[in-house]
Every structure is written in C-alpha cells, then in structure tokens.
Amino acid sequence: MKYPRTHTAFLLLPLLLVSCGAPPSTSSSKDLTIHWNIPAVINCTTPTLQVVVNPHLRPGDPLGIAAFNAIHTLAPDYVRFQAWIPYPKLAVAELQPPTPQSTSWDFSLIDPILANFLSATAGHPTVMDFSTIPQWMFVTDAPISYPADPNQPTWDYEQGTQLRDPTLTELSDYYRRLASWYVSGGFTDENGLWHDSGHHYKFPIWEVLNEPDLEHSTTAEEYTRRYDAIVDAVRSVSPDTKFMGLSLGLPADESDFIRYFLDPSNHLPGIPIDYISYHFYTVPALDETPDTWQYTLFQQADDYLATVRSVEAIRRRLSPRTLTDIDEFGAILPTDAPPGIGPAPPPIWWNTSAAVHAYMYLQLARMQIPILGEAQLIGFPSQYPTLTMIDWATNQPNARFWALSLLKNSFHPGDRMVQTAAASSLASNIEAQAYLAPGGRRLLLINKRNRPVDVAIPNAASATALAVDAQSAESPARAVTLNNGSLTLQPFAVAVVIWQGGG
C-alpha cells in the first residue's frame, strides 16, 4: 500500500528542505526571534479527531447532522471511528451467541452511522475500530444483559477477563465476518447462511480493540495473541489494510506491555505492526478554576511528553518501522465521569481545552509523531460533555473544533519548522513556532495563560493574524488586528500569523 502523504513527508526529509529565498533569514522583535534559515524539524504531524459512536450520530438527529457536516467541511485525514461499549446495539454486530438454529447478526443500527461517517470522510484515510468484543465470548458467572433500547447507555456490558474459546477461533471468526460485511459484500455465518450487505468499502487502517490495559484487564500476552488473531482474520478479506495495535489507556504505567507487544518475536510470523496508538487526558482537580488550569493542564501535558519519549525509545529499538498515532487526547473535567453529568463548564473551558490541544500538537510535531487525534467529536451530559467539539445545545462547533481547523488548515506535513525563540519574559506564558511552507511564512502562537498576553510580531507591517479565542466563540478563527506591531493574545488563544511577501 502506498504510504499516505504524512508518512511520505517523514521518509523524504532531505528532499523537503526548501530554500529560504529572498526574504531575510532572521526576523526579530523584542519578544520573538525567528531564524528562517535554521531548520528545527520537518513537520510530519497530522491533527485529526475521534468519532465515538452514540445515539446522536443516528440518522436524523440534528446534533449528528451538524457533527458530520463539520467533519465534511474540515476534511481531515485519519479520523478514528470507534464503535464502543456504552451502546452495545450500536457497536456489536452479534449480541447473542449462535445456536444451530439461528444467529443474531444485525447491522441495521450500525450501518447508517458508519455510512454517514464514511460519506463525511470520503477521499481521506480513516482509522476503523470496532473495539467491543461481543460479551458472550467471555467467561462470566451469568449472561450479561444490555438495554433493549439502543439509545440507552450501559457501563456494565464489558465483564470477564478470559475468552470462552481459548483457541481464539470464535474471536477471529467474528472479526473476519464483520470486516467481510463491509469489504466483501457480505459473509457466511456460523450455520452456512449468506448475509448480503452490498458494501464494498475500503478500510485503510484497522485498529485492534481499545484500551486493553483497562478493558477486560487484558495482559500483554493475551492482547498480543488477540491482536494477531484479529489481524490475520481481517487481512484475509482486506489484504491492503494496515493495522494499529495497543490503544493503551495508561501508557505511562505499561512500559512492559509496550515492550512485549512491539517485540516481533512475540507475534506470529508475518503479522504486521504498522502503527501503535495510546491515549492521554489532562484532568484538573475538582476544586480548580481557570486560574489554576493554566498551570495544571499544561504541566500534565509536559509530563505526558516524557511518556511519549519513553514509548518512542522502545518503538525505535524494537520496531522502528512502526508509526505512532496518539488517537485520543483531550482535556476533561473530573465531573465528566459517566454516568455523572456535572455542572456546565464556564465558556473559557473550551478555549482552555483548545489551547492545551494546540500545545500538544506542537510538541508532538517537534517530536515527529505522525498523528494526533483529538477526543472527541460529540460529547453531551452523561457522555463526557467537556470533551465535545460540537455544542450539544446549539449544534455548533465550539472553540475546540475551530482550533483544530486552524491547525489543520495552516500547517501541513512537509512544512519546515524553523528555530523560534520567545523572550525570557514571555517564554513561560506562550508557545511559539514558525513554519516555512509552500504558501509562505507562518507562526503558531498559543497563550497558555488565563489573561491577555501582548506579543510584538517581527515585520508586523506585512503580517495578518487569525485567532480562536473567547471572542470568536462558536465561530471560525477571527481576523485579529495588529496594533503598533503587537498582537494581543486573549486568554488561552490559539493564533496563526501569516506574512505576505516574507517575514
């Protein structure tokens, strides 16, 4: 399979170091110094998002319609589709074990959501994750029930740790049939009956399960065996698909898990590890306010970067051709934990979360992590509301979405990141990074503080700026005026400066 654009940029770094051309090689003001001719790194990071299946994504729901329209407009690569536990009827295609008389295969509620997702992301590679194993495959003291109403959530569906079929045939057959339904037009069930779907989708990347360190208390050895079985099954009907493993919830605690999985000797011959993934959320304490968020959340992000460096060192040593997708990252309030609803966050929360995400995007770009996925498209009371990118009350994208849009449309894989320094008086308050791109010179600025920060912009006479802040609210990035050569970053603003004719 041909490498997507992101990975081509990563593999061809020497070819992408473009000349600075006629504009000055250094731009400076009292606050910023940019050395346009001193390369820092080639950007190979794609910012994207996660779509978690829930009832609002069912056809006809106004919030879901708005959400899919937003994805279509954004046109991102590598959006992660996750069919996950809270709504079993929307995530699991065979909810009852087969008998010699019948099977329970049913895609009638799953297909419409997936079809709308694939329509919204048409023309762009996606990451597919049907992460919930049918519960009946696990050994439990009694059968585990689930709501008859597909819109009613349950957080008790996943139970048990051991599969009832230790050979993994039952598990692999489920995923082979699931993939065949979407890729090959249908499948033959356990009783030899053909189920026709008419689907012939292409799945560029398939992620195997979700947070195995947390779900079903899966060990590294168990997960690796299940990964191999599922990959072999899906690949048998979709040979061009790439595969993603791990999807760890607590990577800082799982270095042994990561080492075991990335060691090729622990896998069956020929099983690929094309990508690994893992997750992280910044979470302030219950009694914190925006004045403490400005320190807590960014410090947690910095702590997580140490984990990324550690995981990358393991990956480079054991499986250097494997790529990394941090496919769940977000800031979340502690009142969010389901089934809690919690009070509505203050409006500045959305800008805080957007700034933390932009900060993480920039740091990971400096580390050349290929993909960062923002969690999540839709949240609502009882379903992680402070993670949402679409306001469940207004059906409008919020600052988290618009900051992602600004990043995605301003910076691209292959852009040259150059040496950028903020004055010592500003270095703890803002993050700054300049880029050389085919379209010209650009500067990413992130205000990490809950107060306005003024930044003197080099060569301001030829510069324009866009910002996502409290003033832009649920609208796209707004044009910001530079006054006397200075840009005022509002609290937790994410801004991009663009120079016309050279910076």
pLDDT in tens, the chain (503 residues): 333 334 444 333 333 333 334 567 999 999 999 999 999 999 999 999 999 999 999 999 999 999 999 999 999 999 999 999 999 999 999 999 999 999 999 999 999 999 999 999 999 999 999 999 999 999 999 999 999 999 999 999 999 999 999 999 999 999 999 999 999 999 999 999 999 999 999 999 999 999 999 999 999 999 999 999 999 999 999 999 999 999 999 999 999 999 999 999 999 999 999 999 999 999 999 999 999 999 999 999 999 999 999 999 999 999 999 999 999 999 999 988 887 777 889 999 999 999 999 999 999 999 999 999 999 999 999 899 999 999 999 999 999 999 999 999 999 999 999 999 999 999 999 999 999 998 899 999 999 999 999 999 999 999 999 999 999 999 999 999 999 999 999 999 999 999 987 67
Amino acid identity for residue 7 in this structure:
H
The pTM of this model reads 0.94
396 within 8 A of 384, measured Cβ to Cβ: no
pLDDT score of 317: 98
| 226 to 156, 246, 266, 446: CA distances (angstroms) | 22, 11, 12, 42
Angle, nearest 10°, between helix axes 290-318 and 348-366?
30
**C-alpha angle 281/477/402, rounded to 5°?**
35
236 within 8 A of 306, measured Cβ to Cβ: no
Query: Phi, psi at residue 144, to the nearest 5°?
Result: -100, 125
Q: How far apart are CA 433 and CA 495, in angstroms?
A: 11
Q: How far apart are CA 259 and CA 423, in angstroms?
A: 40
pLDDT score of 12: 37
- In CATH terms, 46-325+367-373 corresponds, of 2.40.50.180, 3.30.200.190, 3.20.20.80, 3.40.50.880, to 3.20.20.80
DSSP reduced 3-state for 81: strand
Of 122, 118, 51, nearest to 91 (Cα)? 51
Of 335, 338, 230, nearest to 287 (Cα)? 335
Query: Phi, psi at residue 61, to the nearest 5°?
Result: -75, 125
Q: How far apart are CA 47 and CA 73, in angstroms?
A: 15
Amino acid identity for residue 356 in this structure:
V
pLDDT score of 182: 98
As its CATH architecture, domain 5-42+417-499 has Sandwich (2.60)
Residue extents of the structural domains in the chain: 5-42+417-499, 46-325+367-373
CATH topology identical between 5-42+417-499 and 46-325+367-373 = no
Signed CA dihedral, 388, 301, 121, 226: sign only = negative
pLDDT score of 278: 98
